[in-house]
Amino acid sequence: MVSEELYQRAIKVIPVGVTRSFRFFDPYPFYAQKAHGSELVDLEGKTYSDYWMGHGALVLGHLHPAIVDATREQLKLGFHFGVCQTRSGNSKDISMESLSRYTLASMGR
């Protein structure tokens, strides 16, 4: 299925066919199939430079080897325990002083 077909299905169940207005591109949004580093590839095989990078969450890029390895290791142990676990608060390099250099914001409509 290609992006246009998926969009035609989506507009039947989601207002304007996208969950966020910035995901719409005229004449229809593209649907990502895969991503690596700073690139996204859509269902038609077209490659895009991803300047959004997960809206800032992927500062190391898609599928960074260190993140993939750490994720694999954690998945072997489980995830979303719902209680305290050994990695909770494991942000020893982050202090309130260093956080003062960041702007935390929420954008959307």
Asked whether residue 70 is domain-assigned, the answer is yes
Query: How many domains would you assign to the chain?
Result: 2
Asked whether residue 10 is domain-assigned, the answer is yes
Domain residues for the domain of 11 are: 1-30
Structure tokens at 50: 């991803």
Average pLDDT over residues 78-93: 71
More confident residue, 33 or 94: 33
Q: Is the pLDDT of residue 92 over 80?
A: no
Nearest residue to 48 via CA among 94, 8, 3: 3
Residues 49 and 73 in one domain: yes
- Going by C-beta distance under 8 Å and a sequence separation of 6 or more, which residues neighbour residue 40? 32, 34, 47, 48, 50, 62
Q: Whole-model pTM above 0.75?
A: no
Q: Cα–Cα distance between 81 and 93 in angstroms, integer?
A: 24
User: Ranked by mean pLDDT, which of 57-66, 68-77, 100-109 comes out on top?
Assistant: 68-77
Residues 36 and 75 in one domain: yes
What pLDDT shows up at residue 86?
A: 73
Asked whether residue 91 is domain-assigned, the answer is no
Residues 72 and 39 in one domain: yes
**Region for 77 from its dihedrals, namely left if φ exceeds 0, alpha if ψ lies in -120 to 50, beta otherwise:** alpha
Residues 39 and 72 in one domain: yes
Asked whether residue 103 is domain-assigned, the answer is no
**Amino acid, single-letter form, for residue 1:** M
Average pLDDT over residues 49-56: 83
Residues 59 and 71 in one domain: yes
Asked whether residue 61 is domain-assigned, the answer is yes
